[in-house]
């Protein structure tokens, strides 16, 4: 394991120690940086301090090694932000009750960061969000709280997270990292920061492009998975095995990518991110009909699955009030993120 390094961004504050923030924090530690892992959940922080991981992708041994280096410091104190050269924000950006963007958690985090921000620091947003968030939300809040000017007194940019929980084929550092910045100097700083830990860094022209890139990736998955759920229902009516159809189709070496049906689409990203894009598009007087339809299909699938189960039980003369055991309620294998 590496020991220490001599780089412009030696100390990193990673805000949020969840599915995105914790693996990222440990990656920076592994590459020789000192990291302050900030999270407002005291129970989570205490567990991390004890070397106990709550994520399947992070082993206790990896966490304990990071702690043993004395370069990983889990904390619930935002004051540690003042000691960092770079601040990376990885907090949740969910939907509200009306399925519109809810940036409450992000805004609270940014306000706290702004209180301790000083000249020369770099602030990067990684949370999935709509195009314009970096310029319209992150920048003005930081400037208001700190009294500093973005692009002059401190650097600011956006780099979409691409963590795929449960994916053992790609390590975090092997996934190309997209970076952007408010100014040319900002994006150069972002590239320098991430180049110290990622195998490949891809620069784009603006934070808006980087923000939309993430939404495009997950909208692409939402639309295709929802389509396969629709195909599954059609195959059921035709008494055709949809799995056999997919297996046959993917033997074609070009022009087809296999997606698979399931009981809806779970996780923190795919059901949420496309609606961030839809919400922003509507602000410009347009919309995505594909996203709208896919969201409707996705939301209908749990009821469809329930009705299919009822029909199957009825054919088997099961008791009217039969009990059903659900084995595995995560949205995909090898993760502990339950779909409830």
The model's pTM is 0.92
Answer yes or no: do 177 and 223 share one domain. Answer: no
b vs e for 176-190, b when ≥16 Cβ sit within 10 Å of the residue's Cβ? ebbbbbbeeebbebb
Residue 236, domain extent: 214-315
| 170 assigned to some structural domain | yes
Please state the domain count of the chain.
2
Answer yes or no: do 272 and 241 share one domain. Answer: yes
The residue out of 155, 183, 205 marking a domain boundary is 205
pLDDT of residue 6: 41
| 183 assigned to some structural domain | yes
| 330 assigned to some structural domain | no
| 276 assigned to some structural domain | yes
| 328 assigned to some structural domain | no
pLDDT of residue 1: 39
pLDDT of residue 277: 97
CATH code of the domain in which 261 resides: 1.10.1040.10
Answer yes or no: do 285 and 303 share one domain. Answer: yes
| 322 assigned to some structural domain | no
Answer yes or no: do 194 and 57 share one domain. Answer: yes
The residue out of 205, 240, 273 marking a domain boundary is 205
Answer yes or no: do 283 and 177 share one domain. Answer: no
Model pLDDT for residues 158-207, shown as the tens digit of each residue: 999 998 888 889 999 999 999 999 999 999 999 999 999 999 999 999 99
Answer yes or no: do 155 and 302 share one domain. Answer: no
The residue out of 162, 180, 205 marking a domain boundary is 205
Report the alpha-carbon distance of residue 199 to residue 20 in Å, rounded: 18
| 338 assigned to some structural domain | no
CATH code of the domain in which 18 resides: 3.40.50.720
Answer yes or no: do 238 and 143 share one domain. Answer: no
Answer yes or no: do 104 and 128 share one domain. Answer: yes
pLDDT of residue 4: 39
Residue spans of the chain under pLDDT 50: 1-6, 340
Answer yes or no: do 187 and 63 share one domain. Answer: yes
Answer yes or no: do 18 and 116 share one domain. Answer: yes
Residues annotated as catalytic are 269
Residues 6+ apart with CB under 8 A from 207: 125, 133, 134, 135, 157, 158, 180, 181, 182
Answer yes or no: do 104 and 146 share one domain. Answer: yes
| 128 assigned to some structural domain | yes
Answer yes or no: do 21 and 129 share one domain. Answer: yes
pLDDT of residue 3: 36
């Amino acid at each position: 394991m590496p020991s220490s390094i001599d780089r412009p961004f030696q100390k990193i504050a990673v805000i949020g120690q969840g599915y995105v923030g914790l693996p990222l924090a440990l990656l920076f530690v592994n590459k020789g940086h000192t990291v302050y892992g900030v999270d407002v959940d005291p129970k989570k922080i205490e567990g991390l301090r004890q070397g106990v991981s709550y994520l399947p992708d992070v082993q206790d041994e990896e966490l304990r090694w990071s702690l043993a280096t004395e370069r990983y410091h889990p904390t619930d104190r935002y004051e540690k932000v003042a000691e960092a050269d770079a601040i990376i924000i990885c907090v949740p950006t969910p939907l509200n009750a009306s399925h519109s963007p809810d940036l409450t958690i992000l805004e609270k985090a940014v306000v706290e960061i702004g209180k301790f921000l000083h000249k020369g620091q770099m602030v990067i947003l990684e949370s999935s969000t709509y195009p314009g968030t970096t310029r319209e939300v992150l920048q003005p809040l930081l400037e208001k709280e700190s009294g500093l000017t973005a692009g002059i007194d401190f650097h600011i940019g956006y780099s979409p997270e691409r963590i795929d929980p449960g994916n053992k084929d790609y390590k975090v550092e092997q996934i190309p990292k997209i970076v952007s910045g408010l100014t040319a100097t900002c994006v150069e700083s972002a590239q320098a920061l991430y180049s110290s830990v990622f195998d490949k860094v891809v620069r784009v022209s603006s934070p808006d492009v980087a923000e939309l890139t993430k939404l495009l990736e997950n909208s692409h998955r939402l639309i295709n998975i929802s389509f396969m759920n629709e195909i599954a229902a059609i195959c059921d009516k035709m008494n055709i095995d949809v799995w056999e159809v997919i297996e046959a189709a993917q033997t074609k070496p070009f022009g087809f990518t296999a997606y698979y049906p399931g009981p809806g689409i779970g996780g923190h990203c795919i059901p949420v991110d496309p609606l961030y894009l839809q919400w922003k598009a509507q602000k410009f007087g347009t919309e995505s009909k594909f996203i709208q339809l896919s969201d409707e299909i996705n939301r209908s699938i749990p009821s469809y699955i329930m009705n299919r189960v009822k029909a199957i039980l009825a054919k088997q003369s099961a008791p009217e009030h039969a009990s059903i055991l659900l084995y595995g309620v995560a949205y995909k294998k090898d993760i502990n993120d339950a779909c409830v």
